[in-house]
Structure 1
Amino acid sequence: MNAADLGLPVAVPSTALFTDRYELTMLQAALRAGTADRRSVFEVFTRRLPEGRRYGVVGGTGRVLDAIENFRFDADVLAFLAEQGIVDEPTRAWLADYRFRGDVWGYPEGEVHFPGSPIMRVEGTFAEAVLLETVILSILNHDSAVAAAASRMSVAAGGRPLIEMGARRTHELAAVAAARAAYVGGFATTSDLAAGFRYNIPTVGTSAHAFTLLHDSERDAFTAQVDSLGSGTTLLVDTFDVTEAVRMAVDIAGPGLGAVRIDSGDLLLLAHRVRQQLDDLGAVKTKIVVTSDLDEYAIASLAAAPVDAYGVGTQLVTGSGHPTCSMVYKLVARADDGGADAPLRAVAKKSMGGKTSIGGRKWAARRLDASGIAEAEVVGTGPVPEVLADRQLLVELVRGGEVVAREPLDAARDRHAAARAGLPMSATQLSRGEAVLPTEYLTHDV
């Protein structure tokens, strides 16, 4: 249970300043020009996947919904804007009453995505929608990168549990978001208590090398830990001599010792040696947990080793070399005036260097082959072909400013497992390659 479940007060800080200054200066200019009320459609997408990745994973949708709800310009924020001369008084007066009252559609959290996928669509007036650009991208780029890395590690682990333990390798707030995204991507537990408290993710953890070094001997340390936590605990056995530590661990805890953890050395060789030693000592049910700068490739290399669980830190919270998904937030349609019923027309950026975009409010669907396996990501504007009507990917997230798509985190986790299972087998290859699904476009007028 978390704080809200217990009925305890939970601080909800404003997210209004999680933005770039130019969002507010654009707002001020649009208010003066009389264009701020034009109905507009913004879309989040990525032009390409990180190099070598076969699919992306949508992470952070639930956090985006929280951010939209808490996007408020309170007195302290407005005072800061005035003191810094960021926007004028009429703009501050407009911001004082700001509430997002538009609609948001998007890929549900845990779904996979591909280049051009309209991961999120934000509709409202230009003024209310443009302000959300930075906070939405900040969350989706970070969480989706971690979720994608977690998914690849989950595939490499082949069903063995994964422990998220990267809190000490990133910003303290990013650590909580990373633990959440890792859980969506397939990790089973986290060492981060804030993530467990906030998102009900199971937490684990026992001791570090410092605990062993604190005591006069390794035996004293193991005895203290077993006396405190029971024989089912996990003992860290690589502080000094692994073979002697394993012998001592079983001697102290008995054959019912829960697990041993190896955090250094040749993990493949040590895992085999430790497994044999444990079996010889009668500790046949004692598990082996390995840590030490693992990524998906290191995990895959241990597939044949007698390892029962993996703990991953640095590589996970940094997206395993790709800490962002390069998602963008682009205006794709807008009205010619501020009328509520004014028709939309497509707009798009046309520039050099591959930074073009496709105009129009888009839908997306995943076409399946005769075996029920995905074969293409279809993105279009205008009517949805009948054959794809029941394969649409975007769901309603916010209606008239009210969140309508709250769900347990386990729902996103289960969704990701199902979405990944529906991709071609080549999606799970760790070798470098192109996106496993092509993106096909069916564009018409808005």
Structure 2
Amino acid sequence: MSGGFDVVSESAIRDGTATDAYFLRTEETLEAADRNPRVVAEVTQDQFPSGEFDLLAGVKDAANLLEGIPVDVDAVREGRLFDGGPVMRIEGDYLDFARYETSLLGLLSHQSGIATAALEARRAAPDSSVLSFGARHVHPSLAAVVERGALVAGLDGFSHVAAGEVLGREASGTMPHALVIAFGDQETAWEAFDESVDPDVPRIAICDTYSDEKDESIRAAEALGEALDGVRLDTTSSRRGDFRHIVREVRWELDARGHEDVEIFVSGGLGPENLRTLRDVADGFGVGGHVSNADPLDFALDIVKLDGELASKRGKLSGTKQVFRTPDGGHHVGLADRADPEDGEPLLEPLIRDGEIVREFDVDEAAERALEDAELVGFRE
């Protein structure tokens, strides 16, 4: 019995064996027939705009996958919203990239779904601190994928330590209920944390372990005094009742006792609707499953040009395309060799030229694009 984890290796992704078997059979068949057509292939979710925008992420990983392969790739920039038409275009000899389709689509589909869900949370509480707490819901090998998608959407941070090492960011988080239970009482746990943990770590006390939120919040403020930065309410759904009222009650009682500077953070199964309801009474949120459990976007890769001629399967649009953003927030799809819409900004830009990556990736810049685009197109208003 093997003691290892069921994880596909990076080497398998890079050599293209992390693929569906029929692509290897396709390679075998084309090579035997001495056939290797020059193609243009496009990655799309919907052919035409539908009015429902999604956020593109995973482009950095996609570029790393295709680096060194003699192809030209154009792609929408990470952090842009799109609605129909291609998000990526590959031009090259088909056998040079055929076996990479499965991994390519997975890299784009999964992180884009996560980023889109994270942007829903960001837009629901634009002025609050929102952290990604959902890494526990996915295979640990995917934690950095989840957290990077959250950052692309503009979330303020995340909780996973190893993901932070991958992404060059410090993980956030203070104490779980388990710490309080391990000590047997709240005050002992809060004071031990304050005495032991680096002073740079905020003192955010979990305040709903054994008694109600108001009681524990008052006790935390009394126990830690000026050292207390905030309280976290992670109340299980079976005990919440009117959660907004609970948060307002905690705020009232802290303020009444002179603890106006103590912030209130809320977590535990929260989605965008919860954030909209609580954003004016809570200072920050931890969002878990809504982000990490997001459905991947349903991208497909289709040949649209074969040896210079128009080509496509049923239900797909032939020809090399471009997508445009107009100043009014519109998303337009058209043939690349035709006139663009008035004042339209072309979104497909060079990513790889003859196997060399010609673009840099900055997650903060991607987040700025996401938030600007979301405002422009009215994302999930």
On whether the aligned pair clears a TM of 0.5, the verdict is yes
**Cα distance in 1 between the residues matched to 2:184 and 2:163:** 34
Contact 2:42 2:302 in 1 (8 A): yes
One of 331, 339, 344 as aligned partner of 2:303: 331
SS of the residue 2:324 aligns to: strand
CA distance 1:48–1:42, shift in 2 (3 Å): closer
Q: Which moved more, 1:249-258 or 1:157-166?
A: 249-258
**Cα distance in 2 between the residues matched to 1:199 and 1:379:** 36
Matches within 5 A, 1:385-404: 385=340, 387-388=342-343, 391-404=345-358
| 1:237 pairs with 2:207 | yes
Q: How many Å apart are 1:61 and its aligned residue?
A: 0.5
Matches within 5 A, 1:178-197: 178-197=146-165
- Match for 2:292: what amino acid? V
Q: What are the Cα deviations for residues 380-407 of structure 1, in whole angstroms up to 9, with x where unaligned?
A: 242333845x611111111100111122
Q: How many Å apart are 1:239 and its aligned residue?
A: 0.2
Q: How many Å apart are 1:302 and its aligned residue?
A: 1.6
Partner of 2:81: 112
- Match for 2:24: what amino acid? L
Structure 1 length-normalised TM: 0.77
**Cα distance in 1 between the residues matched to 2:159 and 2:47:** 33
| 1:345 pairs with 2:309 | yes
- Match for 1:334: what amino acid? L
Q: How many Å apart are 1:50 and its aligned residue?
A: 12
One of 220, 229, 250 as aligned partner of 1:249: 220
| 1:211 pairs with 2:179 | yes
| 1:18 pairs with 2:18 | yes
| 1:226 pairs with 2:194 | yes
Contact 2:324 2:340 in 1 (8 A): no
| 1:318 pairs with 2:289 | no
Q: How many Å apart are 1:34 and its aligned residue?
A: 1.7
**Cα distance in 2 between the residues matched to 1:289 and 1:39:** 55
Partner of 1:258: 229
Q: How many Å apart are 1:291 and its aligned residue?
A: 0.5
Q: How many Å apart are 1:12 and its aligned residue?
A: 6.1
Q: Which consecutive unaligned segments of at least 5 residues does structure 1 have?
A: 1-10, 70-98, 336-343, 351-355, 430-446
Partner of 1:150: 118
CA distance 1:283–1:190, shift in 2 (3 Å): same
**Cα distance in 1 between the residues matched to 2:341 and 2:244:** 53
Q: How many Å apart are 1:232 and its aligned residue?
A: 3.8
**Cα distance in 2 between the residues matched to 1:125 and 1:177:** 30
Partner of 1:43: 42
CA distance 1:324–1:216, shift in 2 (3 Å): closer
Root mean square deviation, CA, Å: 2.1
- Match for 1:233: what amino acid? R
- Match for 1:280: what amino acid? A
Partner of 2:6: none
Give me the identity figure in percent.
25
**Cα distance in 1 between the residues matched to 2:249 and 2:11:** 51
Q: Which consecutive unaligned segments of at least 5 residues does structure 2 have?
A: 1-8
SS of the residue 2:326 aligns to: strand
One of 250, 271, 275 as aligned partner of 1:295: 271
Contact 1:208 1:236 in 2 (8 A): yes
Contact 2:231 2:263 in 1 (8 A): yes
Partner of 1:382: 337
- Match for 2:19: what amino acid? T
Q: How many Å apart are 1:193 and its aligned residue?
A: 1.3
CA distance 1:50–1:271, shift in 2 (3 Å): farther
Contact 2:131 2:158 in 1 (8 A): yes
**Cα distance in 2 between the residues matched to 1:393 and 1:279:** 49
